Structure 1
């Protein structure tokens, strides 16, 4: 099941993101990775989906929620849900592995990226919004409990400039922009799926080189309408996700993940599990109230120390 010393790691804090992590794991296997696949989860994950994760991942680790509680800065991003991304810091506690690559659950691996393990901590790709910062959706790190404790202390004293883990990690690993170009992953290792400004021409020119796609933004692939009969996903009207990348995600989901879901599940999971020849159209995204309820529940658990 891969080399014990090295692993790809992801995180999911709710059932919706389990869908992303399952597709991510399948995408890694399809490109022939030799490393172990690890997922960190919180107790918010339903028992049925925990079973799915144990089936697909080599190791499943239950971790406590960590919240930035910095809702003021998160409002600037329009993403209050990102307060739970501090939970990502638990990856430095995975000391049974010598080196890891962290991948957000809304990423998709297009080509083999095992060469990332040749990089050192802290290696990451430039953020498309502010290239002198790295994007924390993909990075190489070395698990170390001392680093974890240091990050928590840094968070308590210095905080985060964006309310989430990216602002914190950029402040902590603050020599990344200037210290060593070897820690700069090519942008093809973390390509944003939402083109803007000069982005479309670059996307066209270098698309064959893309290794990892990142579905940043509030709407995720699993929220877009899909027709089971035609096998086609329809991008949401206000979404700028590349249609080809969305289709790639859905092809993997329908082929390898959707058949394993429990049709009796509630909400989004049940609706997606019910897709079939007789019930071919999923015409609605995850309702806004479902997303808000998930966030309220996570925030409450953080406040209660759960």
Structure 2
């Protein structure tokens, strides 16, 4: 067993789709460390088998729910309660050091140097930089630490109801104790940063190692096949979908659940060149060939029109065309007229 490992968590088959893409992204950048996938009992047998093919271990863990409805209500994200399950990563004591990656992250350049960091290393959260984002962090598995974290969770809870609030409270000196524990943003860049602060992305984007698809929608929650047709260079969503189409989609089956089962019914007419373990000759953000997809099943949980616009997904020739926008404006103005 390797002394060090990447670790991720999949609480259901839908998030397992993200874990599969993450696993292949690690292989595509030639990482020398294996991947451990923690799962819950909500992951189907078919998906467990698939995860086992691309990881060194599939470890089932119990769901730990914070049951902190008051705090979770502040975020309008009640599903975050089960992220307390992430604490089980400290029980992986077969490894001396690990790097945790959320299932909605994507590794786009080799970053094995993260294993040179010490517990607890993480990058600042874009929403509140004095806190770290818990989607990527370096830690040392320890049953003693695990026990203390669980005790702390029971006694103190979490200020946001999820693992990030808990871990920030437990590792409260992260921002001040040791600057070496503060990972650069390139190791946990929010996907939206490529357009929300475009000048900085233009300057530093070439150095980005890990992209994090924070919030909703996730890449696997595209509402229609057009979400991944004709991507442009530098599009992280397109990069995710290219790996998905080449390496993950062909191995999904109807025996799985959630979006994994729905995706298994997608018929891809033209498949781009597969992602391999050797990407030395390929540019980091190369635009994949046009992919024509025949959708034989709908995929739910897609973004609303407002969310799509905010994240740069605009259907200029369809529902977001000029004529349709003008009709919407006209309809809104007429509905607001006083009787």
The answer for unaligned runs of 5 or more in structure 2 is 270-292, 303-339
The residue aligned with 2:240 is 249
TM-score, length of structure 1 as denominator length:
0.85
Question: Which of 274, 277, 295 is equivalent to 2:265?
Answer: 274
The residue aligned with 1:144 is 142
For the 8 Å contact 2:13–2:256, the answer to whether it is kept is no
The answer for unaligned runs of 5 or more in structure 1 is 235-241, 289-306
Does 2:213 match 1:215? yes
RMSD of aligned residue pairs (Cα, Å): 2.3
1:1-306 matches, cutoff 5 A = 4-195=2-193, 199-225=197-223, 227=225, 232=229, 244-263=235-254, 265-277=256-268, 280-281=294-295, 284-287=298-301
Counterpart Cα distance in 2 of 1:84 and 1:139: 18
Structure 1 position 121, deviation (Å): 0.3
Structure 1 position 266, deviation (Å): 5.0
The DSSP-based 3-state class of the residue aligned with 2:4 is: strand
Counterpart Cα distance in 2 of 1:186 and 1:254: 30
Q: 1:231 to 1:77 in 2, by over 3 A?
A: closer
The DSSP-based 3-state class of the residue aligned with 1:182 is: helix
**Deviations 1:68-92 (Å, cap 9, x if unpaired)?**
1112212222211110000000000
Counterpart Cα distance in 1 of 2:44 and 2:196: 42
For the 8 Å contact 1:226–1:233, the answer to whether it is kept is no
Computing the radius of gyration over CA atoms, which structure comes out larger, 1 or 2?
2
TM-score, length of structure 2 as denominator length:
0.77
Counterpart Cα distance in 2 of 1:111 and 1:243: 13
The DSSP-based 3-state class of the residue aligned with 1:177 is: helix
Structure 1 position 197, deviation (Å): 9.0
The total of aligned residue pairs comes to 279
For the 8 Å contact 2:47–2:256, the answer to whether it is kept is no
